[in-house]
A and B are shown apart, each in its own frame.
Chain A
Amino acid sequence: MVPLSAYLAVAAILFTIGVFGVLFKRNSIIVLLSIELMLNAANINLVAFSKFGIYPDTAGQIFSLFVIAVAAVEAAVGLAILILYFRNRGTININEMDIMKR
């Protein structure tokens, strides 16, 4: 049987990759995908704790379903914004998204 620590390790690795992507990728779409990775890392934790937690419960699994739904919505909205942004400015390079500063 796979122990809890293995789940947590996978989740941590996934989350770290997500953070790295958010922080260092130039392409906004990849940043968006990295956010999805982080959400999914959280989902793994939720599911793992719903099975192996101190008080095992299905609430964690249901909660992860909600997260998936919200993530889908977020991805849709994010992509829509990006498309609009690309139409307006002809780029989705995150380094060039600094008009608030100017």
Chain B
Amino acid sequence: MYMYNLAWIVPLLPLISFVLLVAFGNRLKERAAYLGIFFILGSFVLSTIIFTQKYLQKGEDYLFTFRWFRAGDSDYGIAGGSIFNLGFEVTELNALMLFVVTAISLAVFVYSIGYMRGDERLPVFYSYLSLFAFSMLGLVISPNLFQAFICWELVGATSFLLIGFYFYKESAKVAAKKAFLVTRLADLGILIGILLLFWQVGSFEYRDIFAAVEGGALAPWFITLTAILIFIGAAGKSGQFPFHVWLPDAMEGPTPVSALIHAATMVAAGVYLVARLFPLFAASTVALLVVAIVGAFTAIFAATIALTQNDIKRVLAYSTVSQLGYMMLALGSLGYIAGVFHLFTHAFFKALLFLAAGSVIHAVGTQNIKEMGGIGSQMKLTRAVFLIGALAISGFPLLSGFFSKDQILMAAYGSGNTFLFWMSLLTAVLTAFYMFRLYFLTFGGKVRTAISAHESPRSMTIPMAVLAFFAVFAGYIEFFGFGEWITAGGTIAQEISGPVWIMIGSIAVALLGIGLAWYVYGRDADATLAKAPKPAPLYKLLYNKYYVDELYDTAIVKPYTLFGKFLILFDKYVIEGMVQLAVHISVGLGRFGARLQSGQIQAYMLVTVLGIATLLISLAVRGLFN
């Protein structure tokens, strides 16, 4: 029995949990966590069943929609007005996403019991997490762009709430605001793109859009335009250059949030959307090229920044940006399978890395890797899972990241754009290097500061162990017909194969990066840090993240603030002046009227008599009765 028709329950459960937590959270206190976990567990079980069934059965997609409302006259758009549908669908891609999102959510929900222990806003935290899970799952099963956009904004809002969870910290407040504004700016692109598509196609449904694209109903330039506009929104959510600036700052949120939202799921929403709209993108070579170039550039750009950062979470954040760039590069190179595959594997090992980092932070109370070191002996399990994650992301053979990264390199090679291919290969070296720099500085060497680390509670280690399992084995799904399966829904991408030397090369660059990191930081981290070479200009450039933030500050924030100040003055003196004028006029009129109300009955009568006299005289002048 197939359970696709129950897919709507998957997002519904976290929503119920959210409502319950909002209503009864304060009374539940610590038990709120178990409520949240209970519901997300339900979602996880259901989506696992759906995923498994979908994987085993190569069949039609399940689609269910109902009319929400109709707008406009019947002579506009599709016959009978423009119809706005709600509904859900089960395709290969979103069955996969359902599984990934619920699996990571479940791990993070469980992990947060330990990580957030003692926080009195625990129920609030879980309610936000549940709301996020609802929105993300809703986004994933949306059968049309309209519903997807609603959920798209909802995940943005919950991301804002969770980044600013420690709202009493100034930096968290600023980071939340920044994340919201930057993604908002990018969302303008996607909104315009969606509306343009709707204008031309007359429907928000993915299948109608694809039908229009394939049927040649849309002009090529129009497809390019809308695809790029939608890509702008996706780039904002997925932290692609130049919208990447919010993602590292978003690390101000609690670490489980970083793992769930800013590493595994929400930031992948942009990649998901591009993948979901792949037929649209594939119809325009220009749009694909833009996606590929932005992706490749972001990948190498963020990887270089990650080389120099000292905050454990920020290194991981830049690594996320870089890996998302990889996925975009893959999609832009027509490597649909590679992009989605990397999205799938990356979710597990990046969430794992974040959870391990959270475990470290939880134990030592700092995020600066220069202050850590040597804690590997006290936190054996954390060290082991972090190592697995680092190996996976570096593309070490036989771990999940190896398979997906290999696919991406193949896709980049297959696209014929040699430059992009070499860029991605270089990124792979950098990735391996910074990940192992992080690993050696955190866990290797001697203890640098007087901190006593201890292993985290079981509620934190078990999710990490489970994710570590996936980080190792998720890649093997490739050997079980993943490529054929994910493209079964009619997406035009093909299996991509390249020369064998790419695979060997990718192993070589991974080992090269790890070796370099070992040479510099692994042998004797303290000596390297002690030598502390005076910062070269390049190092400074990287350390300051290419000054992109400063650039934004001077190019956008400051002029905007100035404009805002001007508007304040305008408001104060011009608008408020007019308002004050109106106030004075009515006050004056009121005073005058009040003076008439003297209470002197004879004065009233005088006015009455004068009024009658005036009336009579005017009537008489005009002629009394004609």
The answer to the question of B601 belonging to the interface, with a C-beta cut-off of 8 Å to chain A, is yes
> Chain B's interface: helix, strand, loop or mixed, by majority?
helix
Given the complex, which residues of B lie within 8 Å of A1, measured CB to CB?
A: none
The verdict on A100 contacting B599 (CB below 8 Å), with A19-B609, A23-B609 known, is yes
CB-nearest residue of chain A to B613: A19
- Closest Cβ of chain B to A88, distance in Å, is 17
Given the complex, which residues of A lie within 8 Å of B597, measured CB to CB?
A: 101
The answer to the question of A102 belonging to the interface, with a C-beta cut-off of 8 Å to chain B, is yes
Given the complex, which residues of A lie within 8 Å of B609, measured CB to CB?
A: 19, 23
The answer to the question of B598 belonging to the interface, with a C-beta cut-off of 8 Å to chain A, is yes
- Closest Cβ of chain B to A33, distance in Å, is 15
Given the complex, which residues of A lie within 8 Å of B601, measured CB to CB?
A: 94, 97
List which A81-102 residues lie within 8 A (CB) of chain B.
94-95, 97-102
- Closest Cβ of chain A to B596, distance in Å, is 11
Given the complex, which residues of A lie within 8 Å of B600, measured CB to CB?
A: 95, 98
Against A, the Cβ 8 Å flags (1 = close, 0 = not) of B603-626 are 001100100000000000000000
Q: Is the CB of B602 within 8 A of A102?
A: no
Q: Is the CB of A22 within 8 A of B602?
A: yes
A23 to B606, CA, bound (A): 6
List which A53-102 residues lie within 8 A (CB) of chain B.
94-95, 97-102
Query: In the complex, which of the residues A24, A99, A101 contacts B602, with contact meaning CB atoms closer than 8 Å?
Result: A24
Q: Is the CB of B605 within 8 A of A23?
A: yes
- Closest Cβ of chain A to B624, distance in Å, is 15
CB-nearest residue of chain B to A97: B601
A100 to B601, CA, bound (A): 10
List which B563-622 residues lie within 8 A (CB) of chain A.
597-602, 605-606, 609
- Closest Cβ of chain A to B611, distance in Å, is 13
A23 to B609, CA, bound (A): 9
- Closest Cβ of chain A to B607, distance in Å, is 10
Q: Is the CB of B598 within 8 A of A22?
A: no
Given the complex, which residues of B lie within 8 Å of A100, measured CB to CB?
A: 599
Size of the chain A interface, CB-CB below 8 angstroms: 12
The verdict on A94 contacting B599 (CB below 8 Å), with A19-B609, A23-B609 known, is no
Given the complex, which residues of B lie within 8 Å of A97, measured CB to CB?
A: 601
Q: Is the CB of A98 within 8 A of B598?
A: yes
A95 to B603, CA, bound (A): 10
- Closest Cβ of chain B to A37, distance in Å, is 15
CB-nearest residue of chain A to B598: A101
- Closest Cβ of chain A to B602, distance in Å, is 6
- Closest Cβ of chain B to A70, distance in Å, is 20
A70 to B336, CA, bound (A): 103
Given the complex, which residues of A lie within 8 Å of B602, measured CB to CB?
A: 22-24, 94-95
CB-nearest residue of chain A to B602: A23
Q: Which of A22, A23, A24, A94 has the most CB of B within 10 A?
A: A23
Q: Is the CB of A102 within 8 A of B605?
A: no
A97 to B602, CA, bound (A): 10
Given the complex, which residues of B lie within 8 Å of A22, measured CB to CB?
A: 602, 605
CB-nearest residue of chain B to A26: B602
A101 to B597, CA, bound (A): 8
A10 to B597, CA, bound (A): 35
CB-nearest residue of chain B to A22: B605
A22 to B599, CA, bound (A): 16
CB-nearest residue of chain B to A102: B599
- Closest Cβ of chain B to A14, distance in Å, is 16
Given the complex, which residues of B lie within 8 Å of A101, measured CB to CB?
A: 597-599
CB-nearest residue of chain B to A19: B609
List which A19-61 residues lie within 8 A (CB) of chain B.
19, 22-24
Given the complex, which residues of B lie within 8 Å of A99, measured CB to CB?
A: 599
- Closest Cβ of chain A to B600, distance in Å, is 6
A87 to B277, CA, bound (A): 94
A95 to B604, CA, bound (A): 12
Given the complex, which residues of A lie within 8 Å of B605, measured CB to CB?
A: 22-23
Residues of B participating in the A interface, judged by any CB pair closer than 8 Å: 597-602, 605-606, 609
Residues of A participating in the B interface, judged by any CB pair closer than 8 Å: 19, 22-24, 94-95, 97-102
Q: Given A19-B609, A24-B602, A94-B602, output 17 extra A-B contacts at Cβ < 8 Å.
A: A22-B602, A22-B605, A23-B602, A23-B605, A23-B606, A23-B609, A95-B600, A95-B602, A97-B601, A98-B598, A98-B599, A98-B600, A99-B599, A100-B599, A101-B597, A101-B598, A101-B599
Which 8 A-B pairs rank lowest in CB-CB distance, beginning with the nearest? A101-B599, A98-B599, A23-B606, A23-B602, A23-B605, A100-B599, A94-B602, A19-B609
